């Protein structure tokens, strides 16, 4: 009986070991399956991340390429706009001279009245000589130059000597320089004397008129010198249309002035001839320090 009991216990132990072994195998398979599933999920997730990364990189590269192409197009377009035929200095000088010579026969006339040098100090006369140089320089650069005159220029006077001293090549300027007065050179009905004190605004630049600028640098601000001279001679006067196209801009000094150097007035006339716009011409020519800016409610401009 004991033998049977031992045999039964042994069989049960064998069955138990087999069951445990089977269970372990099942657990192992389950772990392997779970691990494989996790690996597949991780692999799938990694592939999605990599695909998104590649898509993002492709979009980024496409944007960079597009920006680069756009930048190249803008650069090429700007180069085409800025392209100017390259000429030697000798050719440029010849072209400029030809334009100025043509202006002396067909261009509108502008005269600088130098009869008021007796009212100026040595320093003011030197500054006037500098303004004459700038005025002539602007006339050389423009495509539509004026026929320029310097009247009442005394060859034994200080201004003449200062122009020679300060302005290289002054004696070769393509300007008519004379000791005569402008009132003796031109018919009075063709003359428009530009002075800031005139009541009438200049509406347009007429090629048939002669425009007179008062050659006066006055640091002491003597009132209405050029206005008084023009009025005494009975010629038409006009002012730049600053009041019509500009407004006062508040500033800390509360300073406003319509007094301009002759070269500044001349620049405004040149720009108006080029653009037909007083707003553009005045905005470009009047220094900010004068206290005026273009008006957004400017009156309509008259015909050129």
8 A C-beta contact, residue 181 and residue 232? no
Each domain of the chain, given as residue ranges in start order, spans 107-294
Q: pLDDT per residue over 3-23, tens digit each?
A: 554 455 445 554 455 555 655
The pTM assigned to this predicted structure is 0.68
Using the predicted structure, report yes or no on whether residue 159 has a pLDDT greater than 50. yes
Stretch among 26-40, 133-147, 232-246, 247-261 having the lowest mean pLDDT: 26-40
More confident residue, 83 or 100: 100
Query: Residue 51: is it exposed, middle or buried by C-beta count within 10 angstroms (0-12/13-18/19+)?
Result: exposed
Q: What is the pLDDT of residue 76?
A: 76
Any idea what DSSP says for residue 202?
P
Return left, alpha or beta for 258; rule: phi > 0 is left, psi -120 to 50 is alpha, else beta.
alpha
Helix 122-141 / helix 89-106 crossing angle, nearest 10 deg: 100
* pLDDT class of 289 with cuts at 50, 70, 90: confident
**pLDDT above 60 (res 248):** yes
pLDDT confidence of residue 59: 84
DSSP for 5-51? HHHHHHHHHHHHHHHHHHHHHHHHHHHHHHHHHHHHHHHHHHHHHHH
pLDDT digits (tens, 9 = 90+) for 28-83: 555 555 556 666 666 767 777 888 888 888 888 888 888 888 888 777 777 666 65
Q: In whole angstroms, what is the distance from residue 278 CA to residue 257 CA?
A: 18
Work out the percent of the chain whose per-residue pLDDT is above 90: 49
How far apart CA 244 and CA 299 sit, in angstroms, is 6
Fold held by 107-294: Alpha/beta knot (3.40.1280)
Q: What is the DSSP letter of 3?
A: H
Q: Give the pLDDT score at 298.
A: 41
> 């300027």: which residue's tokens?
173
What mean pLDDT is predicted for residues 135-141? 96
């Amino acid at each position: 009986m004991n033998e049977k009991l031992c045999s039964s216990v042994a069989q049960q132990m064998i069955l138990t070991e087999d069951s445990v072994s089977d269970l372990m195998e099942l657990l192992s398979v389950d772990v392997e399956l779970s691990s494989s599933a996790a690996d597949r999920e991780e692999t799938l997730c990694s592939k999605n991340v990599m695909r998104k990364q590649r898509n993002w990189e492709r979009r980024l590269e496409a944007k960079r390429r597009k920006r680069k192409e756009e930048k190249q197009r803008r650069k090429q377009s700007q180069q085409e706009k800025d392209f100017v035929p390259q000429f030697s200095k000798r050719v440029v000088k010849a072209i400029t001279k030809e334009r100025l010579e043509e202006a002396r026969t067909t261009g509108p006339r502008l005269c600088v009245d130098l009869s008021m040098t007796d009212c100026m100090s040595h320093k003011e006369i030197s500054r006037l000589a500098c303004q004459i140089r700038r005025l002539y320089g602007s006339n050389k650069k423009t495509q539509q130059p004026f026929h320029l005159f310097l009247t009442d220029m005394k060859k034994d006077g200080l201004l003449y000597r200062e122009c020679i001293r300060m302005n290289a090549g002054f004696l070769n300027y393509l300007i008519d320089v004379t000791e005569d007065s402008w009132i003796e050179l031109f018919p009075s009905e063709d003359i428009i004397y530009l002075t800031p004190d005139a009541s009438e605004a200049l509406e347009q630049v007429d090629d048939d008129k002669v425009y007179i600028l008062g050659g006066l640098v006055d640091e002491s601000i003597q009132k209405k010198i050029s206005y008084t001279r023009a009025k005494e001679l009975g010629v038409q006067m006009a002012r730049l249309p600053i009041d019509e196209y500009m407004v006062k801009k508040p500033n800390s000094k509360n300073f406003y002035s319509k007094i301009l150097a002759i070269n500044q007035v001349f620049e405004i006339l040149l720009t108006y001839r080029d653009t037909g716009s007083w707003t553009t011409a005045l905005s470009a020519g009047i220094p900010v320090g004068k206290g005026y800016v273009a008006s957004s409610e400017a009156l309509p401009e008259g015909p050129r």
